[in-house]
Amino acid sequence: MDKNGFFVVLCAMGLFAIFSSTMSKNPVLPLFAESLGVPEHLMGFVAAASTVPGILVSLPSGSLSDVFGRRRVLVTSEFIFASAPFVYIFVVSFSQLVLVRFYHGFATAVFGTVAIAAIVETSPKNKAARVATFSSTTMIGRGAAPFLGSYVLLITNSSYSSVYVSVGVAGIVTLLTGLALYQLMSPRKGTGNQRREWIDLSHLFRGWTRITSNKGIVATSLVESAMYFTFGAFEFFLVLYAESLGLDELLIGIVMGAQLVAIMVTKPFMGKISDAYGRRKPVLVGMIAGGLPLIVTPFATQFPELIALSIVYGLGLSAVTSSTTPLVSDLATKELQGASIGFLRTFMDVGQALGPILTGFIVATAMGYFGAFIALGWILLVFDIIFYWFTNDKS
């Protein structure tokens, strides 16, 4: 199978995978958690549970795909995408919900790392544009999910089981698409047919040491962590903030979907800018563009204002994340491509996991949403300065 065909099928699988994953949480998850009686200060744990697996397996899965090839590792994530959604139907408590979210999180953790490593490996000259296009394709699913999820809730009188059955159908399509991709992939290194019967752990650890000693990779990973710290928190608590203003499920879905559509539309363009003009400047500008609307959010009380701020934040995230992955790839050696991307995504998941948890504690204090959103904005601005300082010699 040629590289273009491989890329197209991988994008199709990514679309259904992320549609399934997003619909399971946005906007249904916080509302489902509320219906189970989850207290406000524990809401962040519900949001973060699915990102913890990324902390645990992103780096190992990237390294394993360097060793065994990409397609074998992808199969694991496809099975989880297809099976996890149906377990939500039986959830009746906070602890059960956290466990299901934890299991579901392994799907996106493995899939995201290995799929991007495969793209970077097969498209070295236009990696940023292709990674951004892949991301935008997944954003079609991510952008459509809040609208459809809200609509299903509306027409079923808030039947959460109906939503998760829909999520499961999308997960099954992901599995079927992945199995088709597995059959079409040619048996060459990096596409999943490289055979090994053992792993030299010392070799893996040496590779990880080389990655952690690279100042540019670490600084870029910190930026990724900060960006997704705010994204995880903003995505979750903007829903509850909008609900507190009196917006119904459909309007909340539009607010959240507008942000994701903005990311989807602009990411390929941002990737081309990164390929043409360098990785560093889009990151620096994007962090500012993401931080300012967060600071303004607690002053917004109307539906149009929330949409505008959601979109501007999405543009900032688009600029940053279109450059971070290719920058890490540029700085890593060829044999550590998967591991370096796994390292980046580990930081991403640490940020996305901690964001809702820590923000939840702020929201539960007297500072409420006002203090929470302003703190999130300043985090991006501070880490933008850190990135500028430590990558001042990077182009």
Each residue's pLDDT expressed in tens, for the chain with a length of 395 residues: 567 778 888 999 999 999 999 999 888 998 999 999 998 788 878 888 887 888 888 888 888 888 777 777 888 899 999 999 999 999 999 999 999 999 999 999 899 999 998 888 888 778 888 998 998 888 788 778 888 998 899 899 889 999 999 999 999 999 998 888 777 655 544 444 444 445 566 667 777 888 888 888 999 999 999 999 999 899 888 988 988 898 887 888 888 888 878 888 898 999 999 988 888 999 999 999 999 999 999 999 899 999 999 999 999 999 999 999 999 988 887 778 888 899 998 998 889 878 988 998 998 888 889 999 999 999 999 999 999 998 876 44
Find the radius of gyration of the CA atoms of the chain. Answer: 20
Which residue, chain included where needed, has tokens 């954003």?
Answer: 139
- What pLDDT is attached to residue 186? 53
User: Within a 10 A sphere around the Cβ of 322, how many other Cβ atoms?
Assistant: 32
- What pLDDT is attached to residue 371? 93
Taking domain 3-390, whether its CATH number is 1.10.10.10 is answered by no
**Cα 270 to Cα 320: distance, rounded to the nearest angstrom:** 9
- What pLDDT is attached to residue 202? 66
Q: What is the pTM of this model?
A: 0.74
Please give the structure tokens belonging to residue 113. Answer: 């790392």
Q: How many alpha carbons fall within 13 Å on the CB side of residue 30?
A: 28
Residues sharing a CB contact under 8 Å with residue 200, sequence separation 6 or more, in sequence order:
none
Please give the structure tokens belonging to residue 324. Answer: 């971070």
The DSSP 8-state label assigned to residue 279 in this structure reads S
Please give the structure tokens belonging to residue 11. Answer: 């994008």
Residues sharing a CB contact under 8 Å with residue 372, sequence separation 6 or more, in sequence order:
233, 237, 298, 359, 362, 363
What are the angstrom distances between the C-alpha of 235 and each of 68, 88, 142, 178, 384? 35, 20, 12, 28, 21
Residues sharing a CB contact under 8 Å with residue 366, sequence separation 6 or more, in sequence order:
none
The residue ranges of every structural domain in the chain are: 3-390
Q: How many alpha carbons fall within 13 Å on the CB side of residue 305?
A: 13
